[in-house]
Amino acid sequence: GESVGLHLPTLSVQEGDNSIINCAYSNSASDYFIWYKQESGKGPQFIIDIRSNMDKRQGQRVTVLLNKTVKHLSLQIAATQPGDSAVYFCAEKGGSGSARQLTFGSGTQLTVLP
Amino acid sequence: NAGVMQNPRHLVRRRGQEARLRCSPMKGHSHVYWYRQLPEEGLKFMVYLQKENIIDESGMPKERFSAEFPKEGPSILRIQQVVRGDSAAYFCASSQRTSGGTGELFFGEGSRLTVL
């Protein structure tokens, strides 16, 4: 079936290192992807998005890479900081469900070690 | 400019009672979405509403659950005769326009329902 999922449920990185969080999607019709950050007890917070006509998009300390050939999405965080510790979700639109709704993956818990 | 406001933040109900969760979208936003999140899982779409209209309720259980977004006042997610399986965090999000475009969603802090 159609799904958005993550390769690893947890990721631990040293403070200052770069983090890479991966996401796989199964529906080639997905045309819009978003990364959200969710801190404990809070709602998801938008980080960065990318359309399917792009391969890469950069923000402040974050980069999203999209490989449509293998249906893979990644979020790279440069110089990871303690405040980056959170659960990161990828979400997609245009494939799994209505174009009006986002379909979320199950999340990766990022832990930044001192 | 206040963000998406949800209340209550925490709600405890006994089996068979009713739960009402409220969501006030960001100022200027007329599109509201409700999502449910079980522990250590992603968010699952429930329903999408515009003022006075339900646009897509494909993710909402057919029984016991209902949602509204009246002309005046917050959006309400209502769960009747709650069961333990309804225990979850319920998130509301709003956007300025339909998410058929990008229509970035802004999420509230969530309402955490515990059914005893």
Which residue among B43, B44, B100 sits closest to A44, beta carbon to beta carbon?
A: B43
* Integer Cα distance of A4 and B3 in angstroms: 28
Question: Which amino acid belongs to residue A48?
Answer: I
Average pLDDT of the segment spanning A85-91: 94
Q: Hey, are the CB atoms on A104 and B44 less than 8 Å from each other?
A: yes
Chain A contact for B26 (CB, 8 A cutoff): no
Under the banding of pLDDT at 50, 70 and 90, the label for residue A7 is: very low
Q: What is the pLDDT of residue A30?
A: 85
pLDDT at A93 over 90: no
Q: pLDDT value at position B102?
A: 53
Q: Across all residues in chain B, what is the average pLDDT?
A: 91
- The alpha carbon of residue A32 is apart from the nearest alpha carbon of chain B, in Å, by 8
Amino acid type, A71: K
d(CA A105, CA A103): 7
Give the mean pLDDT of chain A.
87
b/e B38-56 (16+ beta carbons within 10 angstroms → b): eeeebbbbbbbbeeeeebb
Cβ pairs bridging A and B (under 8 Å): 65
Task: Give yes or no for residue B32 having a pLDDT over 80.
Answer: yes
- pLDDT for position A96: 45
What are B61-99's pLDDT values in tens digits?
999 999 999 999 999 999 999 999 999 999 999 988 655
Instruction: Say if residue A64's pLDDT is above 90.
Output: yes
Whether A2 shows a pLDDT value over 50: the answer reads no
**Interface probe with B: pick from A101, A103, A106, A109, most Cβ of B within 10 Å:** A101
> What is the Cα–Cα distance from B18 to A27, expressed in whole angstroms?
38
User: Is A106 or B10 the better-scoring residue by pLDDT?
Assistant: B10
pLDDT at B98: 56
